[in-house]
Homo-oligomer: A and B are copies of this chain.
Amino acid sequence: MAQQERAIRTRLAVVEAAARVFAEHGYVAAKVTDILRIAGVTKGALYFHFDSKEALARGVLEEQTSYRPPVQEVKLQEVVDLAMSVAHRLRHDPILRAGARLSADPVGRDHYGSAWSQWVGLLTEILQEAGRRGETLSHVVPREIAELVVGAFNGVQMYAQLETDLADVEYRVSLLLKNLLPSIASPSVLLRLDLAVDRGARLVAEQREERVPASV
């Protein structure tokens, strides 16, 4: 294994271990010694990539928001896809759970920031393009709706986390979208949207297949 590849793997192992610890204990109570143990790396290796707990939190947040849903013909489908794939990944990926918890931490976020602004920025762009294409109703203000979706999504996923340990988070997020989108999308766009509960699972599976090189 080349040295660079090894460094990338170490960094990812550290980010994933940090995500597990942040997701379970929150930022303040998280211990770097636990992160070291779970990642199975030395202190030196960890500090080579991240020189503080703050830097670890920033690393988790960056990893979380690096995801982009695939381009769709109907732009509002990308809003749905972003929400549904994040909902799906919340159940299976500690990086998403840690990102949600870190972003909602009133003490920590003053130090390492929040993922919300990235999500709002991305959704605002998609909604602006949807507006240019005539997909949205005339009263829609892209940034306002983007903030509403991020806020409401976060509350719904937190509700699912605390009440059902995320078992039904995809159902709840799909229900949120089904009840919000008639106020956002024009009727002709509305009936072309796929809001199924398993939409996120299908998207994530497709992207995984794309990453596996085809056998020759």
Q: Which A residues contact B (CB, under 8 angstroms)? A: 104, 106, 109, 114, 116, 144-145, 147-148, 150-163, 172, 175-176, 178-180, 182-184
8 Å CB contact of A155 from B109, B158, B178, B182? B158
22 CB-based A-B contacts, threshold 8 Å = A106-B161, A109-B162, A114-B162, A116-B159, A144-B175, A145-B179, A148-B175, A148-B179, A151-B158, A151-B159, A151-B160, A152-B152, A152-B155, A152-B156, A154-B155, A155-B155, A155-B156, A155-B157, A179-B184, A180-B180, A182-B182, A183-B183
Tell me whether A159 and B183 are in contact (CB under 8 A): no
With a cutoff of 8 Å between Cβ atoms, the chain B residues found around residue A180 in the complex are 179-180, 183
Copy tally for this chain in the complex stands at 2
The docked-state distance in angstroms from the alpha carbon of A135 to that of B106 is 39
